[in-house]
Structure formats: structure tokens, C-alpha cells
């Protein structure tokens, strides 16, 4: 009878060890999935921030096409043409 009780104890301990291994494996898998989701979220946020920055820069450039001071205005161009050619270019 005592040998049967010892065998039951060994079987129960083996089952508990198996359940513990399954539980630990599941926890490790869940932890890895959580890290992957966090990294994916950070990647998406960084991508959206980059696209927003690029869009703002493009919008800025569309408002200010020629930001440098060496740009020539239409009236300056008209005067230069008049001086070089002798033709009178009107403002109309």
C-alpha cells in the first residue's frame, strides 16, 4: 500500500511539473508578444511623426517658394529686360 502512495505522489509531481512547464512557456510567449506589439506601436508612431514632419515641410515650402534673398521679383526682371534690350515691357 505504501508503494502505491509513493507512486501516486511521483505521478502527481510529474503532472504538476508538466503543467508548470506549459504555464511558463505560455507566459514567455505572451511576454514576447507584448514586446513585439510595443515595438510595432513605436514604429507606427515614428512613421506617422516622420510623415507629419515631411508634410509640414512641404506645406512650408509651398507657401514660400523662393526663400533666399537672391530671388528676383517680377518688377526687377522687367527693369533688367528694359535696360538690356531697350524694349519697354509694360506692367499689364
Residue ranges in the chain assigned as alpha helix (H): 2-63, 74-85
79 phi, psi to nearest 5 deg: -65, -40
- The confidence score (pLDDT) of residue 36 equals 97
Task: Answer yes or no: are the C-beta atoms of 82 and 88 closer than 8 Å.
Answer: yes
| CA–CA distance, 7 with 77 (Å, rounded to integer) | 103
Answer whether residue 69 shows pLDDT above 60.
no
> Domain locations in the chain?
2-85
- Please give the torsion angle defined by the CA atoms of residues 21, 24, 26 and 32, in that order, rounded to the nearest 10 degrees: -140
User: The whole model's pTM is what?
Assistant: 0.49
Q: What is the pLDDT of residues 8-37, one digit of tens each?
A: 889 999 999 999 999 999 999 999 999 999
Amino acid at each position: 500500500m505504501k508503494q502505491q502512495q509513493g507512486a501516486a505522489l511521483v505521478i502527481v509531481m510529474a503532472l504538476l511539473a508538466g503543467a508548470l512547464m506549459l504555464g511558463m512557456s505560455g507566459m514567455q510567449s505572451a511576454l514576447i508578444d507584448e514586446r513585439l506589439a510595443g515595438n510595432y506601436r513605436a514604429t507606427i508612431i515614428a512613421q506617422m511623426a516622420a510623415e507629419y514632419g515631411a508634410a509640414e515641410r512641404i506645406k512650408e515650402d509651398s507657401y514660400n517658394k523662393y526663400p533666399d534673398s537672391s530671388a528676383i521679383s517680377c518688377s526687377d526682371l522687367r527693369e533688367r529686360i528694359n535696360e538690356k534690350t531697350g524694349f519697354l515691357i509694360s506692367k499689364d
